[in-house]
Amino acid sequence: MIKFEDVGKRYPNGFEGLKHINLSIEQGEFVAIIGLSGAGKSTLIRTINRMHDVTSGKLTVDDVDVMSLYGKQLRRFRRKIGMIFQSFNLITRTTVIKNVMTAFVPDMPWYRSTFGIYNKEEKIKALECLDKVGILDKAFVRADQLSGGQQQRVALARTLAQDPQIILADEPVAALDPVTAKQVMDDFKRINEDMKITVLINIHHVDLALKYASRVIGIREGEIVYDGPASDVNEEVLTKIYKGKVDNEGNVQEEEG
């Protein structure tokens, strides 16, 4: 369980990115985080794996105080948490399978990681992860020869290879066309349901958030202004989150005055 108790995040310049965040997320939930650009979505998910430090309150993952972790413990903790970015972050010059196997590097002896020597178990596991996201046939293709959707699936497979308990995804489909975006969201959903991995996704597409997530968190200026089932998100809720009217496609008309 991920638990925020009155969490605040003040950036070094004094700006308060998060204010009084209270949240409990159970293992296996699929949560979409929505809000205007600059609302604090990335800040929120990045505190969970300590890419950002919280500056007040308490944040725990499975009862472990995230701010108490350092060095080896922090590295081990981060292995349980996969991170997916809008820009895929692959090594484009190398094959898909080698990209997935980079997930094993932190656990490998130095000589194997230095020379990129992977054993049979690691290769099989990487192939299994590619199979889970439907791109087993691309295993030996160079990553830069894949489409954006396929590259995001490689990133997802690489994350799965580290056996995560939680996947944090920061705008994972923002760079994809609507059809491909749905396919990648289907992958997240399948992984969430089949493997009981908690999924937290920051997303600008309100329609996708409501379609895929069971729970929606709406952030406005660093504060949670909605936290509830996707099915209860109506125009009023969206107006509160986005400071204005939002149509079904998620287009916002700014409040007047």
Ligand X SMILES: Nc1ncnc2c1ncn2[C@@H]1O[C@H](COP(=O)(O)OP(=O)(O)OP(=O)(O)O)[C@@H](O)[C@H]1O
Pick 129 or 216: Cβ nearer ligand X: 216
Q: Are 112 and 118 in contact (CB under 8 A)?
A: yes
Pick 42 or 150: Cβ nearer ligand X: 42
Pick 35 or 149: Cβ nearer ligand X: 35
- Placement of tokens 């059809």 in the chain: 179
User: In DSSP terms, which residues pair with 246 in a beta bridge?
Assistant: 252
Pick 96 or 169: Cβ nearer ligand X: 169
Alpha-helical (H) ranges within the chain are 41-48, 71-79, 96-101, 110-115, 120-132, 148-160, 178-195, 206-212, 235-242
Phi/psi of residue 29, nearest 5 degrees: -75, 155
Q: Decide which of Mg ion, ligand X, none touches 38; Cβ closer than 5 to 8 Å per partner kind.
A: ligand X
Tell me the closest approach of the beta carbon of residue 144 to Mg ion, in angstroms. Answer: 25
Pick 46 or 132: Cβ nearer Mg ion: 46
11 touches ligand X (CB under 6 A): yes
Q: Which stretch binds Mg ion (CB under 5 A): 16-24, 42-50, 188-196, 239-247?
A: 42-50
49 touches Mg ion (CB under 5 A): no
Strands 56-61 and 64-65: antiparallel
Q: Which stretch binds Mg ion (CB under 5 A): 33-41, 66-74, 81-89, 116-124?
A: 33-41
Q: Decide which of Mg ion, ligand X, none touches 102; Cβ closer than 5 to 8 Å per partner kind.
A: none
Q: CA–CA separation, 177 vs 217, rounded Å? A: 24
Q: CA–CA separation, 130 vs 96, rounded Å? A: 9
Tell me the closest approach of the beta carbon of residue 190 to Mg ion, in angstroms. Answer: 25
> How many chain residues interact with Mg ion (CB under 5 A)?
2
Q: Which of 220, 234, 253, 207 is nearest to 32 (CA)?
A: 207
Site for ligand X in 41-100 (CB under 6 A): 41-43
User: In DSSP terms, which residues pair with 11 in a beta bridge?
Assistant: none
Tell me the closest approach of the beta carbon of residue 35 to Mg ion, in angstroms. Answer: 9
- How open is the CA angle 224-228-230, to the nearest 5 degrees? 115
42 touches Mg ion (CB under 5 A): yes
Pick 12 or 109: Cβ nearer ligand X: 12
Site for ligand X in 12-41 (CB under 6 A): 13, 15, 17, 35, 37-41
Read off the DSSP letter of residue 256.
P
Distance (Å) of CA 102 to CA 90, 108, 132? 10, 10, 17
Binding site for Mg ion (CB under 5 A): 41-42
Binding site for ligand X (CB under 6 A): 11, 13, 15, 17, 35, 37-43
